[in-house]
Amino acid sequence: MAATGAILVVDDDPAICVVVGEALRRQGYRVKTAASIRERSALLESFSPDVLITDVMLPDGDGLDGIAEILERRPALSIIILSAQNTLNTAIRATEKGAFEYLPKPFDLNELTRAVSDALGSGKGADEEAPDAGLPHDGLPLVGRSPAMQEVYRTIARVLSNDLSILVLGESGTGKELVAEAIHSLGQRRTKPFVPINMAAIPRELIEAELFGYEKGAFTGAHARTAGKFEQAQGGTLFLDEIGDMPMEAQTRLLRVLQSGEVTTVGGSKSVKVNVRIIAATNKDLPKLIEDNRFRQDLYYRLNVVPIALPALRERREDVILLARHFLDRAAQEGLPRKSLSDDAAQLLMAYHWPGNVRELQNLMQRLAVLSRENMITADMLRNSLPLEAVPADYAAPGDLLGQAVREWAKRQLGIGLTQPNRNLHDDLLAVVEPILFQETLASVDGNQIRAAGLLGINRNTLRKKLTDYGLDPLQLRIAE
């Protein structure tokens, strides 16, 4: 059965308008396209769409400007934001403005069509209450533009206007506390305290006293009544880090506090009402701990209302150089010498497996900012700073290998060229390199031409023509299941 509904697609890239428009028309939707804010405004009146899909960067301004006013006039309209500015800031701005969905570029076409279907089937989600405007977006602690981080950004944006419990999952060093800080500092409790507590860093016998407070004389050394972390976080956010290391007896009392919203100090008899948002984090496999009777299942369900899974750095390698330069810039802002990365150093950073994740990368950049005498950080410097077993002595960066291959190819072809002076070496080289590059790129994105074109930095129409010229079939370049 064909879908029904009117869709307005706004993007200054004609290829995106054509591809998205055709995909939606095949679903049965009525579609019109625009390339600017001015054209968008005119079609909103004359076409009266049910869903607006709009880019952020448009020729005549910011595509997010005016969205709130549009929704005031047309509260039934669902808005889907597209953006190549894949930052947490953009995701939050889109949510604040009342967008139904935010999709980073390069986006998956199937995901976009599903978002349109959801928007039309939801009866409208954009008129729900959004977070207050004017949130402090500068200096956000999270950095990354990989698809995995985009999903993290979207989830954060969706939980800012509510107080649901959140469980942040990820390996040590992935930035779980940064996620908690971002949710607090951007959410509706940002004017109240953010109180972190690390369960793994506190002796088992003192965890309850730290969390719930204690009365004078409750135990040796308790010389005065002391408020616990729950009371200290009153009205704000309590971050329970390494929750998987919490003793079972403390878990039982924590569950009781979460259910009742009241805290009783150790050695006390009166309860104190507390109003805090709970964000927990762990690098442990909690379902496995539940199986082993080391973690309460009911507490797990209480904490895991909204899970946020942080990827390991090796799973978001496209963010490594962005993060490294971010840490070097921050080090310079803190008074350390300003450093930059050489191309071979950048390739080596991408090749390393980062067992310590983002924290390891941050520490390495800070160390090199202090200790390296040169302004440029090279691969040789990194070899001396990273574990030897992780960086083979004969390692050659991919850029070096490609350069060597091109150099040898050119020497051979130039030798031939002495007897064949009319050869076009430039086109000959492209005919060798481009098909391989296109094949590998398309295979990495399961044949998705929009994502491949984004990774290659070329227009999709150009990619399509190149594939035809080289006789490549994108349907045959999908990764085998």
Distance CA 199, CA 227 (A): 17
pLDDT at site 475? 59
Contact 80, 103 (CB under 8 A): yes
Pick the CATH number of 162-311 from 3.40.50.2300, 3.40.30.10, 3.40.47.10, 3.40.50.300: 3.40.50.300
User: DSSP E strands: which ranges in 360-400?
Assistant: 376-377
Two tokens, residue 340? 């930059």
Contact 141, 184 (CB under 8 A): no
For residue 338, give the amino acid letter: R
pLDDT in tens, 126-168: 333 333 333 333 345 688 878 788 888 888 888 888 899 999 9
**What residues contact residue 440 under an 8 Å CB cut-off, 6+ apart?**
none
Distance CA 435, CA 454 (A): 17
For residue 53, give the amino acid letter: I
pLDDT at site 130? 36
Q: What is the pLDDT along the chain (481 residues), one digit of tens a residue?
A: 556 899 999 999 887 888 888 889 888 999 999 999 999 999 999 999 999 999 998 999 999 988 989 999 998 999 999 987 767 778 888 888 888 988 887 777 778 888 999 898 754 433 333 333 333 333 456 888 787 888 888 888 888 888 999 999 999 999 999 999 989 988 889 899 999 999 999 998 899 999 999 888 878 888 888 899 999 999 999 999 999 999 999 999 999 999 999 999 888 888 899 999 999 999 999 999 999 999 999 999 999 999 999 999 988 888 899 899 999 998 998 998 999 999 888 888 988 889 999 999 999 999 999 988 889 999 888 888 877 455 554 545 455 556 667 777 777 777 655 555 566 778 788 888 888 888 888 877 777 777 787 788 787 778 888 888 887 776 555 443 3
For residue 111, give the amino acid letter: E
DSSP, res 196: E
pTM (predicted TM-score): 0.65
What's the distance, Cα to Cα, between the start and end of the chain in Å? 30
Q: Which CATH class is domain 6-121?
A: alpha beta
Contact 351, 394 (CB under 8 A): no
> Would 162-311 and 419-476 be classified into the same CATH topology?
no
Distance CA 314, CA 396 (A): 19
Domain ranges of the chain: 6-121, 162-311, 314-390, 419-476
Domain 314-390 has CATH 1.10.1060.10: no
Q: Hey, how many other C-beta atoms are within 10 angstroms of the C-beta on 388?
A: 9
Separation of CA 51 from chain center: 25
Contact 107, 80 (CB under 8 A): no
Pick the CATH number of 419-476 from 3.30.365.10, 1.10.10.60, 3.30.379.10, 1.10.287.110: 1.10.10.60
Distance CA 47, CA 173 (A): 50
**What residues contact residue 284 under an 8 Å CB cut-off, 6+ apart?**
242, 244, 245
Q: Hey, how many other C-beta atoms are within 10 angstroms of the C-beta on 458?
A: 14
Q: Does residue 53 sit in helix, strand or coil?
A: strand
**What residues contact residue 335 under an 8 Å CB cut-off, 6+ apart?**
none
Identify the residue whose tokens are 């008899």: 269
